[in-house]
Chains A and B, each alone.
Chain A
Amino acid sequence: MNLGELVRVALMSVKGSKMRSLLTTLGIMIGIAAVISVVAIGQGGRAALNTEMEKFGTNVFVVYLDGEVRLGDMKMVDLQVIKAAVPEVKNLAPVRDLNAKVRGPRGEIDMNIEGTTYEMAAIRNIELRTGRFLNEEDQASSRRVIVLDEDSARSLFGNANPVGEQVSMAGNTAMVVGVTRKNQSQFGDNAKTGYIPISFTSGIEGDEIFFMMWGGATQKDKVDEAMNGTIKVLERRHQAPKHYKGESMEGQMRQINEVTSIISLIISSIAGISLLVGGIGVMNIMLVSVTERTREIGIRMALGARRRDILVQFLVEAIVLCLMGGILGTMIGYGGAFLVAHYAKWPPLVSWGTIGLAFGFATAIGLVFGVYPANRAARLDPIEALRRD
């Protein structure tokens, strides 16, 4: 019998007991659906994460003070030294976070004000809607200027162009020089964030102090070197080992990936158990089928079927049963993945590799769990088999 013939016979037998076949394949279906959705959601999630990170800047790292904070643990002059000493560091900017009430002609809002330098624009991929970002002159002359985000600018000025206008905050006034474009990234949300020169903050809150710096590495894979180099220089200059800590986007990504792969592993093992149980179910029903069709086996043998023909027939039937579970499971799995991707706004990733994997799995299960019943069928004595009802 050729393969087409075998598959036809197998399909006929599956069709002969529809409900039973469907219930039998349920385990395989659930297992395959779980595998497919886990892989698809995992790949989609990772891709989504990557694009988010890229929007924000994948080369980004942060160095901050750990433990007891003393004044002067980070100084503006450190930035120059670090940039000169660590070639992997491309940009380095101090960050001093302030919360302030900011008042404009249209109202007053609470804003997060970052005292920083012009280099921050390059580090965080900040784009401007109008005007300009901070520049070197602002820093050098401690100019009283501010760059607002889109939302805040609208709250403070309505639809009027705010560039050149004044806002007041914490008893000072500052001139708006630019408005940043809204950042779509879920990580780099810059809503209600204003940037002022860090030299200006000393006018608001005393000394030019900061406890955190943001950096950009020359390349994505140089982030760790850039960050560690920065920490090392700071430790040496301030004689303070283990006083500085760093985090990078890459590191965060690694952590997230680690977590997601653990979750994937857990779901995959559940899927594995389901496939195992499903396989045992298939084996069970195939054994029942062999018993029910003992006479058929006897007839086929009398008509000239070799033991191998009978073995292959039942093996193909087990595989067909599993593949049907695989097909249904793939559809359900992708349905689930699309649903999750839709709500999480991820790209749904449909890869042929995953489908191949699922079908490979289903075939393998059919083979493994079909061998025993098929072998039992093939080893029947034709005389005994023909006598059976």
Chain B
Amino acid sequence: MIRLENLCKQYITGTIQVAALQGVSFQVVEGEFVAIMGASGSGKSTLMNLLGLLDSPDQGSYCLDGIQTADLGESERARVRNEKIGFVFQAFNLLPRLTALENVELPMVYAGVRAVERHKRAWDALERLGLEERARHRPNELSGGQNQRVAIARALVNKPALLLADEPTGALDTRTSEEIIEVFQELNNQGATIVLVTHEPEIAGCTRRILRISDGCLVADEPVPNPRKASSSQPELERQAVNQ
């Protein structure tokens, strides 16, 4: 699914060269649920940008779902982002003027899906995340957890090969975080490949494998023998509150 070989990336800030990644290699196979951990400045954001094809490496190769990304031009990378990758961000990154439904439709707009089908698929994705009641609301009318679930619906809607989540619980309280992680675990159980960046050990403990990054190098790659099952303390109550 993902194969990284000796990935290197440098940034130039003023006159100082900062080596953000210094030869990172690993593989992720289909159906895995991987956490990338590291302190801020460790290079994990850079790695995330490279995995998400938002940036290109100075050296090394990145193969995603059989595609050698080094050969891709600007608009082909956009197409791969659109078809193969679903992003979930810390700050949700929903468009404030669009409703939840329209936000979920957005990736399909760029995929050229026709309006009727787009509508149906967006609706299905929202339903899957228990948000059908909130479909017509704008992000500022939704709670943080609801917004993040809209964002997950948006990430899923083009049936991507890889779900990339960058600190998806960073802006949420503990209970809502648990709820979101629960969603990810559920998706993983249904077969989704997920790479999740976090600095919280409790969150990482819910995945099946942890990659640790420090100073631009991969320092540890360990499986999680018994992933903790995330559970929001009173999920039923929360659901009811939403529906009221």
CB-based contact B74/A306 at 8 Å: yes
CB-based contact B54/A303 at 8 Å: no
* B52, B78, B82, B97: residue with the most chain A Cβ atoms closer than 10 Å: B78
Binds A, one of B105-113, B190-198, B204-212, B222-230: B105-113
Chain A positions 276-318 with a Cβ under 8 Å from a chain B Cβ: 295-296, 298-309
Query: Does B119 touch A at the CB level, under 8 Å?
Result: no
Q: What range describes how many residues of A lie at the interface?
A: 20 to 34
Chain B positions 73-93 with a Cβ under 8 Å from a chain A Cβ: 74-75, 78-79, 81-83, 87, 89, 93
Which residues on A sit within 8 Å (CB–CB) of B106? 300, 303
Which residues on B sit within 8 Å (CB–CB) of A305? 78, 110
CB-based contact B97/A304 at 8 Å: no
Query: Does A5 touch B at the CB level, under 8 Å?
Result: yes
| Minimal beta-carbon separation of A16 from chain B (angstroms) | 6
Partner of B49, one of A1, A13, A307, A383: A383
Q: Quick one: CB contact mask for B104-138 with A, threshold 8 Å, 1 for yes? A: 00110111000000000000000000000000000
CB-based contact A304/B81 at 8 Å: yes
CB-based contact B89/A306 at 8 Å: no
CB-based contact A303/B110 at 8 Å: yes
| Minimal beta-carbon separation of A299 from chain B (angstroms) | 5
Report Cα–Cα, A200/B8, bound state, in Å: 114
CB-based contact A308/B75 at 8 Å: yes
Known contacts A1-B110, A302-B52: does B95 contact A296 (CB below 8 Å)? yes
CB-based contact A382/B54 at 8 Å: yes
Query: Does A386 touch B at the CB level, under 8 Å?
Result: yes
* Secondary structure type dominating chain B contacts: helix
Chain A positions 1-57 with a Cβ under 8 Å from a chain B Cβ: 1, 5, 12-13, 16
| Minimal beta-carbon separation of A103 from chain B (angstroms) | 86
Known contacts A5-B109, A383-B49: does B93 contact A299 (CB below 8 Å)? yes
Which residues on A sit within 8 Å (CB–CB) of B82? 303-304
Report Cα–Cα, A12/B95, bound state, in Å: 12
| Minimal beta-carbon separation of A317 from chain B (angstroms) | 13
CB-based contact B93/A295 at 8 Å: yes
* Secondary structure type dominating chain A contacts: helix
Report Cα–Cα, A305/B87, bound state, in Å: 13
CB-based contact B97/A301 at 8 Å: no
CB-based contact A304/B111 at 8 Å: yes
Known contacts A383-B49, A383-B55: does B78 contact A301 (CB below 8 Å)? yes
CB-based contact B55/A303 at 8 Å: no
| Minimal beta-carbon separation of A310 from chain B (angstroms) | 10
CB-based contact B81/A303 at 8 Å: yes
Closest B residue, CB atoms, query A12:
B97
CB-based contact B93/A304 at 8 Å: no
Closest B residue, CB atoms, query A309:
B110
Report Cα–Cα, A305/B83, bound state, in Å: 11
Query: Does B149 touch A at the CB level, under 8 Å?
Result: no
CB-based contact A303/B75 at 8 Å: no
Query: Does B44 touch A at the CB level, under 8 Å?
Result: no
CB-based contact B97/A307 at 8 Å: no
Which residues on B sit within 8 Å (CB–CB) of A308? 75
Closest B residue, CB atoms, query A301:
B78
Which residues on A sit within 8 Å (CB–CB) of B52? 302
Q: Quick one: CB contact mask for B10-43 with A, threshold 8 Å, 1 for yes? A: 0000000000000000000000000000000000
Known contacts A382-B54, A383-B55: does B87 contact A302 (CB below 8 Å)? yes
Which residues on B sit within 8 Å (CB–CB) of A5? 109
Since A303-B106, A303-B154 are in contact, a sample of 14 more A-B pairs with Cβ atoms closer than 8 Å, ordered by chain A residue number, is A1-B109, A12-B97, A13-B97, A300-B106, A300-B110, A301-B78, A302-B81, A303-B110, A304-B82, A304-B111, A306-B74, A306-B110, A308-B75, A309-B110
Which B positions have Cβ atoms within 8 angstroms of A? 49, 52, 54-55, 74-75, 78-79, 81-83, 87, 89, 93-95, 97, 106-107, 109-111, 154, 158
Q: 25 interchain pairs (CB within 8 A)?
A: A1-B109, A1-B110, A296-B95, A298-B93, A300-B110, A301-B54, A301-B78, A302-B54, A302-B81, A302-B87, A303-B87, A304-B78, A304-B79, A304-B81, A304-B83, A304-B111, A305-B110, A306-B75, A306-B79, A307-B74, A307-B75, A307-B78, A383-B55, A386-B89, A386-B93
Of all A-B residue pairs in the complex, the 3 with the closest CB atoms, nearest first, are: A304-B82, A304-B110, A306-B78
